[in-house]
Amino acid sequence: MILGFSTATYTSTTLVDEFFRAAIDWDWTITQAYYHATIEAYGGHEDTIKAVIVADTLEQYNNDHLWGQGYVAPDEYPDDDTIWYAEWTCSG
């Protein structure tokens, strides 16, 4: 999975802290932890900041956890040349 942004953004230690807190302490999926972290880090800003998550399969998008924190979906085989892309505004 790839976690990133489609706009310019700010440096934020909150982003990292909240991501790992949700993914490890609360066992949230990577998608859920990343959404939560982007809101915690940038929700108070007025700029348009958009976060992006890319997964190879729908099962990975819905269910992947960090290793040891829950279910991890298998690698896709054979490759079907498609990805799953979600984008949301985390400040505006």
Partner 1 sequence: MYRSLKLVFVVGTLLIFTMFLSHAITQDGKIITGTKGSFSEVKLNVALPESPEKLPLYRIVDVERDSYASKDFMKLSGSVPSEEESRRLALEFLEKRGQLPDGLTPKVVEVVKLREVNVKTNDTLQELPVAVNLIFGKVVNGYPVTGPKADRIAILVGGKGNITYYSKLWYEIERNNDTAILPAENAFEKLKRGEVLNRMKAVPKTLKISEVKLGYYVGKDQKYYIPAWLFYGEDEIGNRIVLMVDARR
Task: List residues binding partner 1 (CB under 8 A).
Answer: 1-16, 19, 28-32, 35-36, 39-48, 50, 58, 61-62, 64, 66-67, 72, 74-75, 81-92
Q: How many CB atoms lie within 10 A of CB 11?
A: 7
Chain CA centroid to CA 46, Å: 21
Q: What's the min distance (Å) between Cβ of 32 and partner 1?
A: 5
Residue among 46 and 78 whose Cβ is closer to partner 1: 46
Residue among 44 and 78 whose Cβ is closer to partner 1: 44
User: For the chain, how big is the Rg over CA atoms in Å?
Assistant: 14
Chain CA centroid to CA 12, Å: 15
> Which two tokens mark 46?
């007025």
Query: Do residues 28 and 71 make contact, with C-beta atoms less than 8 angstroms apart?
Result: no
Q: What's the min distance (Å) between Cβ of 60 and partner 1?
A: 9
Q: What's the min distance (Å) between Cβ of 78 and partner 1?
A: 14
